[in-house]
Structure 1
Amino acid sequence: MKNFSIKYTYIFSFFLLTGLTGCDDMLDVDLPVNELSSENVYVSDPTAEAAVNGIYQSMVASVYYDNLHRILGQTADELIPRTGIANVYSSNEIPDIDGSIGTMWTELYKTIYNANNVIEGVTKSTTLNPVKSKQWIAEAKFLRAYSHFYLTNLWGNVPLILTTNIDVTALAPQSSQEAVYTQILLDLTDASKDLPTNYSNYNDGERIRATKWAAEALLARVNLYLRRWSAAEIHASAVINETGTYKIITGLTDSNNPFIADNDEAILQIPYYNVNYTYEGTAVFGTGGTYLLRKGNALFEAGDDRKTKWTIDIRDRVTNAFIGIAPRKYKANFGQSINERSTVLRLAELYLIRAEARVKLNNITGAQQDIDVIRNRALLGNTTLTDSNQLLELIAMERERELFAENGHRWLDLKRSGNIDQILGSVSDKIWKSTDSLYPIPETAIRSNPSLIPNPGY
């Protein structure tokens, strides 16, 4: 992987620092006298480019490569601790003082702050390349939309932050989910118009910055969540039809899978700098099986290659008795040469989005074809189902099998389906209340901003 130039490291540090100070007005940091100002950053193309890279750099953080997988998987019916001992996430008893929940909130808003900084700085500048400026603003809008998407899906009504002005953000009230989604759609639509259509003008063509197709992929997901079936199908098809860039990987191996750097299925990945392993492969889903799949082998049909290639059997260290199966999509441990990246968006999700939208639009044949793309990759046969309700159940199951332990998909699917109370209320070791579908707004955020109102149940 090509590393960013060392000369940009200082600029990255500036944006990470300003992001932190913008998100938490209680943090008081004295900047060095020689610190770059925002005005200086947006004078030249190289420093502005580095500022955009700095938004992505800020995403090399626990919310993106750890918490979205691990915490959301446990609050759903997906992951359980290997020890079998329930915790606040697997039992859905999260307190508002929980540190990991607070970190998720802070890091998502830090990304938004850094994106706003780029949007404002590039917009105000009169010396930057106008073509590149459009692209940089589009990238920032995409990343702002991505962060707002998770914020409103995890916490419901949240502050909609579109400025770096601390006088505005410090006491920003919560906006409705409708308002947040309206802005997300606006940002993604704007981004899709001005983002590049390929990766050639990024670092050696690496898939680590947003293209038009990343915006289209997220537009497909957002429209699916909003039950706008025609729009979801259109945006998913826009990505699927880019066959010169994106293809479903077949013949899964350790070196040929959707989590390898720059693979044909990857739409957007987060790089790890100066290393060739992933945090997912070393800590979150290592060979020791810190977290098990709650449904175990029962999740998969007989012969499903995803069970073979993407899970690992876990046995008692003393008795060697079988305990369960653990996610093992990411293989790269410390010191290994497998070149992986945290995968934010990949093509398989688009087939599943389009399949669901097509069922809702009564295009049964088209939905079957999309489902079969995913099933055939897993070495499973074509579906013979034609009933709409049965197909929707199969799609939900294929989403669970294909996207397990990735970016909180199962948790968000349960919430948008309307079945979350029924499904999680029947899990014996959960202390489930309907208000648990939203996470608690962190106590530190409420203390910092008295305009925030705690979510019901907390």
Structure 2
Amino acid sequence: MKNIFTKYTYIFSFLILAGLTGCEDMLDVDLSVNELSSETVYVSDQTADAAVNGIYQSMVTSFYYNNLHHVLGQTSDELIPQNGIATVYSSNEIEEIDGTIGSMWSELYKTIYNANNVVEGVSKSKTLNPVKSKQWIAEAKFLRAYCYFYLTNIWGDVPLVLTTNIDVSALLPKSSQEAVYEQIILDLTDASKDLPTDYTKYKEQQRIRATKWAAEALLARVNLYLGKWTDATTHATAVLNETGTYKIITGLSESNSPFISDNEESILQIPYYNVNYTYEGAFVFTTAGRSLLRKGNALFETGDDRKTKWTIDIKDRNGAFLGIAPYKYKVNFGSSFSERSTVLRLAELYLIRAEARVKSNDITGAQEDINVIRNRALLSNTTLTDPNQLLDLIALERQREFFAENGHRWMDLKRTGKLDETLSVLSDKIWKTTDRLYPIPEEAIRSNPFLKQNSGY
């Protein structure tokens, strides 16, 4: 067992260093990988900043730009394979040996490890700029909270790793979802206090590093999930009030969308270096239509601009119509404009606040927020006043706005308690209530005797 821990230590150390050496624009120092030890990284402001960039770079992996959209989309009622052949995800027959699920788990924990490394290294350093140190720790805590949000929403109770000490973390049992959420809120609250309030505080001056408003946006989402309507409204409003920085994109087009680099709707995007395309646009949601929207055209009202601008008709080789596929990301190779994987965007805050306002009996305020999203899609204002009808409309607008995006539909069905009633009636799914949680990867179970498998696997 000790050999396994040592192996993991080497792997994680390499990830930190790979993050450092991969950020050439951030790190203009002539150090070899062997020289970039923890002791040297957290002595210089320049190398410490590069270590933080390394956390973001650890997010340029399949979980964040592919599986988060694609796998979660299939396990919900959102996406179906274009070829009509069910996958283990679309039929909800995932096994604990599934390699994709294993990589999703490990990629999230690798990012958490990198974040923990920054928190520990910066906290211990006596030579770093104290103001920047607070910012770097805040960034690491935000990214750690972001990862734990997905871990607990995909797997439920999970190990809460807050250290780089492998001898400690390798044998951690699961923590309850309540404990995980407590840590998420603690990290995001701390981050909100010390993160910059605008992107100009970063030398990149791009929307690729977390600001206070990214932390507030994620706090709004977390509090919505926890049913804390007043807190969800407060945090969402804090972001929506930043009108000098954030605006809803209107007049949707190929080069004017929430997925364009540094657009006014984006709150946080994953950085890509030396390329102007996204992996979503180049490999995942392409004109080939890897997956189709299960509900097809029926998902959208007549005239919905999201259907026009964010989907593509897919036909077979004989020209027969098969369905519509997600086509939000459009940049493949050699485009004159660039896109980035978008982690947080302003539209979500309007729909979060709308839902929280309905729950708080602020019907007029909820209508106003819903209409911002509907009007952008070239749809008319809602006239609904019944709270239940408004909640149904918000759920539908979330489905239309965030289809094939960051797992929103899967998690919305879970948090609202509608997974069973929605998925059990679909003929291509072999649905069990326990399928609401993915299996803990077999490799993780084998490595840690205190880690218990989720029910149903």
- Does the TM-score normalized on the shorter chain lie above 0.5? yes
Secondary structure class of the residue paired with 1:34: helix
What is the aligned partner in structure 1 of residue 135 from structure 2?
135
Conserved 8 A contact 1:372-1:383: yes
Conserved 8 A contact 1:139-1:195: yes
What is the aligned partner in structure 2 of residue 185 from structure 1?
185
Structure 1 pair 153–14 and aligned structure 2 pair: CA distance change class (3 A): closer
Structure 1 pair 240–56 and aligned structure 2 pair: CA distance change class (3 A): same
What is the aligned partner in structure 1 of residue 58 from structure 2?
58
What is the aligned partner in structure 2 of residue 230 from structure 1?
230
Structure 1 pair 84–120 and aligned structure 2 pair: CA distance change class (3 A): same
What is the aligned partner in structure 2 of residue 348 from structure 1?
347
| Identity of matched residues, % | 77
* Matched residue type, 2:60: V
Conserved 8 A contact 1:14-1:36: no
1:12-33 Cα offsets, whole Å, 9 max, x none, are 96505699xxxxxxxxxxxx99
1:439 has 2:441 as partner? no
* Partner Cα separation in structure 2 for residue 18 and residue 394 of structure 1: 43
* Partner Cα separation in structure 1 for residue 157 and residue 17 of structure 2: 26
* Matched residue type, 1:440: P
* Partner Cα separation in structure 2 for residue 414 and residue 307 of structure 1: 22
Conserved 8 A contact 2:354-2:369: yes
* Matched residue type, 2:358: V
Matches within 5 A, 1:319-338: 319-338=318-337
**CA drift at 1:205:** 1.4
What is the aligned partner in structure 1 of residue 220 from structure 2?
220
Conserved 8 A contact 1:12-1:54: no
* Partner Cα separation in structure 1 for residue 14 and residue 277 of structure 2: 23
* Matched residue type, 1:446: I
Structure 1 range deviating more: 331-340 or 145-154: 331-340
Matches within 5 A, 1:119-268: 119-268=119-268
What is the aligned partner in structure 1 of residue 376 from structure 2?
377
Conserved 8 A contact 1:277-1:337: no
Structure 1 pair 65–327 and aligned structure 2 pair: CA distance change class (3 A): same
* Partner Cα separation in structure 2 for residue 351 and residue 18 of structure 1: 34
* Partner Cα separation in structure 2 for residue 420 and residue 203 of structure 1: 44
What is the aligned partner in structure 2 of residue 419 from structure 1?
418
* Partner Cα separation in structure 2 for residue 33 and residue 407 of structure 1: 33
**CA drift at 1:35:** 4.0
Conserved 8 A contact 1:45-1:128: yes
**CA drift at 1:238:** 0.3
Conserved 8 A contact 2:343-2:406: yes
1:98-131 Cα offsets, whole Å, 9 max, x none, are 0110000000000000000000000000000000
What is the aligned partner in structure 1 of residue 75 from structure 2?
75
* Matched residue type, 1:38: S
What is the aligned partner in structure 2 of residue 339 from structure 1?
338
Gaps of 5+ in 2: 1-11, 21-31
Secondary structure class of the residue paired with 1:389: helix
* Partner Cα separation in structure 2 for residue 33 and residue 292 of structure 1: 44
Gaps of 5+ in 1: 1-10, 20-31
Structure 1 pair 18–244 and aligned structure 2 pair: CA distance change class (3 A): closer
* Partner Cα separation in structure 2 for residue 456 and residue 239 of structure 1: 38
What is the aligned partner in structure 2 of residue 402 from structure 1?
401
1:227-269 Cα offsets, whole Å, 9 max, x none, are 0000000000000000000000100011111000000000000
**CA drift at 1:133:** 0.2
What is the aligned partner in structure 2 of residue 364 from structure 1?
363
Conserved 8 A contact 1:12-1:51: no
Q: Stretches of 4+ moved more than 4 A in 1?
A: 11-14, 16-19
Secondary structure class of the residue paired with 1:323: strand
Cα RMSD for the two superposed structures = 1.5
**CA drift at 1:201:** 1.9
What is the aligned partner in structure 2 of residue 3 from structure 1?
none
1:377-433 Cα offsets, whole Å, 9 max, x none, are 000000000000000000000000001110000000000010100100011100000
1:260-296 Cα offsets, whole Å, 9 max, x none, are 0000000000022211111111111000000100000
Conserved 8 A contact 1:115-1:141: yes
* Partner Cα separation in structure 2 for residue 106 and residue 14 of structure 1: 12
Secondary structure class of the residue paired with 2:199: coil
Secondary structure class of the residue paired with 2:201: coil
* Matched residue type, 1:407: N
Secondary structure class of the residue paired with 2:128: coil
* Partner Cα separation in structure 2 for residue 361 and residue 178 of structure 1: 23
Provide the aligned length of Structure 1 versus Structure 2.
435
Conserved 8 A contact 2:75-2:410: yes
Taking structure 2 as the reference length, the TM-score comes to 0.93
**CA drift at 1:167:** 1.2
Conserved 8 A contact 2:236-2:350: yes
Secondary structure class of the residue paired with 1:196: coil
* Partner Cα separation in structure 2 for residue 337 and residue 175 of structure 1: 47
**CA drift at 1:34:** 3.1
* Partner Cα separation in structure 1 for residue 262 and residue 18 of structure 2: 29
Conserved 8 A contact 1:269-1:344: yes
